[in-house]
Each structure stands twice: as C-alpha cells, then as structure tokens.
Amino acid sequence: MLNVDNISLYYGAAQALRGVSIKAEPGKVTCVLGRNGVGKTSLLRAMVGQYPIASGTITFDGADITGLRPYERARRGIGFVPQGREIFPLLTVEENLKTGFGPLKRHDRNIPDDVFSLFPVLQSMLGRRGGDLSGGQQQQLAIGRALVMRPKTAAARRADRRHPAVDHQGHRPRHLLPAQPSATSPSCWSSNISISPASSATSSR
Ligand SMILES: Nc1ncnc2c1ncn2[C@@H]1O[C@H](COP(=O)(O)OP(=O)(O)OP(=O)(O)O)[C@@H](O)[C@H]1O
Ligand SMILES: [Mg+2]
C-alpha cells in the first residue's frame, strides 16, 4: 500500500500542497480529482520523489520512503507515467521500453508480453522512432515503459477525454468523487497495476 500522510509541498514561497493525504491500496484504482492547477502533478511528483516535500510522510509497503530518491522508489516498485509522456523521440519504441529496465536486476530485463497484450500497436511498431508515433500511441508507450519495470504501483495522470472529471452537465461522475472534496485536495490518480513476474521475455527482438 502507498500511504501519503499529511504532506505539504512548496515551489519556492508558493505552497502547492497543504496537508494532503491519500492511500492507494493493492488491487484498487485510487482517484483524486480537482481543477487545473490544484496540485495533481505536484502530488504525483511528491509520491515518486521528483520533488521534495516540506512536511508529512510517504510510506510504501510499510516502509518510510519519504527521503528516498526517485530511482530508489522505482526499485521498490513505484512506476510513473509523466504528464507530458516524456518519451525519447529519437529512440525506437523498443529502446524506449528498455529504458524501463533501469530498476530491474539483470536477469529480469525483458519486456513482459503483457505490455504488448495491452498495447498491440507497440509490438507492431517496435522499430519506429518514438517521436514518429501519434500522441495516443506515445501515451501507450509511456504507460508501457512504466509497466516494463513490473511496478507494484503505477502513478499516472488521468486521461481527460476518456475519464472526464466532469460530465457534460458539469457534474463530477459520482463514482470518481473523492471522499471529501476540497479546494485544496489535488486531483490525480494512482492505480495499482501488477504484471506477473513470470511474464516471458520479448526483449531480444
Ligand atoms: N515548477 C514549479 N514552480 C512553481 N510553481 C509551480 C511549479 N509547478 C507547478 N507550480 C504551481 O503549483 C500549483 C499546482 O500545480 P500542478 O502542476 O501540481 O497542478 P495540476 O493539478 O497538475 O494542474 P493541471 O490540471 O493543469 O495539470 C499551480 O499553481 C502551479 O502553477
Ligand atoms: Mg498536472
């Protein structure tokens, strides 16, 4: 379980997160919603260690990871799909996927078949440069790259069009409402995704 407890985050003098808490439990998709600029990305950055928090604690599987570097959190199984995708445009799809090998031990460095089951287009475009993919395909590549490291938890920005924060009448879908909506509660989602460690290798292609 990923447990974010009462964290605050500042950009210089500007406070972006104030006393934010969220739990992401195994086997569940955890969503937090909010308007633009409320702090969704900041919360994700704090969770994966991309930006230091000023107060509060973050624990993962019972261990305090508040002070860990991003690569140390990745090694513990926290995946991340950046808001801007941040794939490498000049690397091929296969090379981009292999950048997810970083936290893995040498004998685990293969691309699980599950990635291609989820995103068949990636398999058919293994040799294409990342920058030549469509926007949606690049998004699939960014998610696939996070899954390559077999994360216990993957943190990602929501897909706005497919999972709108508000319906056509401006109401938030009830099943996505946070328990206690608040102007200071940021909106992001983190989903617990697991790929079987027994998944077979395809990286030699
Ligand atoms: N690097 C930064 N330096 C200073 N302020 C920042 C920085 N990044 C974000 N902010 C500010 O922090 C607040 C939260 O930003 P954040 O990117 O977390 O919002 P968000 O909820 O992800 O928004 P969006 O829905 O537009 O992606 C905003 O007011 C933003 O202007
Ligand atoms: Mg954002």
Q: Is the same domain home to 70 and 3?
A: yes
Residue 156 lies in a domain: yes
**Domain boundary pick from 126, 148, 170:** 148
Q: Tokens standing for 115?
A: 């990635």
Q: Cα(151) to centroid of ligand 2, in Å? A: 21
In the chain, how many domains are there? 2
Which residues, 6+ apart, have CB-to-CB distance to 81 below 8 Å?
142, 143, 145, 146, 154, 155, 156, 157
Residue 23 lies in domain:
1-77+151-200
Exposure on the CB side of residue 10, measured as CA atoms within 13 A: 5
Among 14, 32, 35, CA closest to 23 = 32
Ligand 1 center–CA 138 separation, angstroms = 23
3-state secondary structure of 42: helix
Say yes or no to pLDDT of 85 above 90. Answer: no
Could you tell me the pLDDT band of residue 158, with boundaries at 50, 70 and 90?
A: low
Same domain flag for 144 and 155? no
Do residues 9 and 71 share a domain?
Answer: yes
Q: What is the CATH number of the domain that holds 1?
A: 3.40.50.300
- The model carries a pTM of 0.75
Do 1 and 66 fall into the same domain?
yes
pLDDT tens digits, residue range 88-103? 999 999 999 999 998 8
Residue nearest to atom 1 of ligand 1 (CA): 11
Examine the domain organization and report whether 116 and 64 are in the same domain. Answer: no
Nearest CA to ligand 1 atom 7: 11
In this structure, the residue with its CA closest to atom 28 of ligand 1 is 37
Are the C-beta atoms of residues 192 and 26 closer than 8 Å to each other? yes
158 versus 68: the higher-pLDDT residue is 68
Asked if 93 and 113 sit in the same domain, the reply is yes
Do 128 and 156 lie in a common domain?
A: no
* Residue 205 belongs to some domain of the structure: no
Residues 8, 61, single domain; the answer is yes
Residue whose CB lies within 8 A of the most ligand 1 atoms, among 18, 38, 51, 83, for a mutation test: 38
Q: By the 8 A CB rule, do 186 and 20 touch? A: yes
Q: Which ligand sits nearest to residue 45's alpha carbon?
A: 1
Q: Does 163 lie in the same domain as 66?
A: yes
For ligand 1, is residue 183 a contact (CB within 6 Å)? Answer: no
User: Among the residues of the chain, which ranges form H helices?
Assistant: 40-48, 70-75, 93-98, 113-118, 120-124, 135-148
